[in-house]
Amino acid sequence: MSRRRIRSKKDHLLAAWRGVWEPEDLSKFSRPVGDVMESALQGLGLDSRCDQEEMLNAWAEVVGSNIANNAQPLEVRRKVLIVQVLQPSIHYVLAQQMKGAILAKMQERFGRDQIKDIDFRIG
């Protein structure tokens, strides 16, 4: 014989306000916060944005302070790192001579599937 739960006035008030009774066992509805945050970030597309922020922050470590002072990454668009360069001469050196080495270091650090190319722009 099952016992019927006696609900308090608070439970009656909440059920009337919500339009449903709250189940007695809520454990099947609970999930770890990390899982909820991960799925929410993926749903909003923000998980890849975090990776982009890491790429932009790692630029100075990968290329060195001399180049980082003259070339700053702007964004990652369609797996292409867009870098703004201050002077045409530095643009030439980066685009023609150092692009392969920089791309290899970035791909080694973040993976080939995260970054496919680097686009240097004067500006």
Q: What is the pTM of this model?
A: 0.62
- CA distances to 16, 37, 80, 101 from 105, rounded to whole Å, are 61, 30, 14, 6
Cα distance between residue 25 and residue 115, in whole Å = 47
pLDDT over 60 at 1, yes or no: no
Range of the domain at 118: 43-122
Residue 83 belongs to some domain of the structure = yes
Cα distance between residue 122 and residue 101, in whole Å = 20
pLDDT tens string 62-113: 899 899 999 999 988 888 999 999 999 999 999 999 999 999 999 998 888 8
Using only C-alpha atoms, the chain has a radius of gyration, in whole angstroms, of 26
Residue 102 belongs to some domain of the structure = yes
Residue 68 belongs to some domain of the structure = yes
pLDDT tens string 38-48: 888 777 766 66
Q: Indicate the burial class of 106 (C-beta count within 10 angstroms; 0-12, 13-18, 19 or more).
A: buried
